[in-house]
Amino acid sequence: MSTRHILLGLLAGGPSHGYDLKRRHDERFPQARPLAYGQVYTTLQRLVRDGLAEIDGTDSDGGPERTMYRSTDDGTHELTQWAAEITPPAPFVTNEIFAKVVVSILAGGAPSSYLQAQRTAHMERMRELTAVKTARTTDLATVLSADYALKHLDADLRWMDTTAARLTTLTAEVDAS
The pLDDT tens digits of the residues spanning 109-157 come to 899 999 999 999 999 999 999 999 999 999 898 899 899 999 999 999 9
pLDDT above 90 covers what percent of the chain? 66
Confidence of residue 50 (pLDDT cuts 50, 70, 90): very high
Q: What does each C-alpha distance from 59 to 15, 36, 70 come to in angstroms?
A: 11, 21, 13
Higher per-residue confidence, 31 vs 85: 85
Q: How far apart are CA 168 and CA 118, in angstroms?
A: 19
pLDDT of residue 94: 65
Q: What is the pLDDT of residues 55-79, one digit of tens each?
A: 998 877 777 888 999 999 999 999 9
pLDDT digits 0-9 by tens, 146-166: 999 999 999 999 999 999 999
Which sign does the torsion angle of CA 7, 95, 97, 142 carry?
positive
Contact between 171 and 111 under an 8 Å Cβ cutoff? The reply is: yes
Query: Which helix (H) or strand (E) segment is 67 a member of?
Result: strand 66-71
Compute the CA torsion angle 94, 97, 102, 106 (nearest 10 deg).
120
Report the run of H or E that residue 59 belongs to, with start and end.
strand 53-59
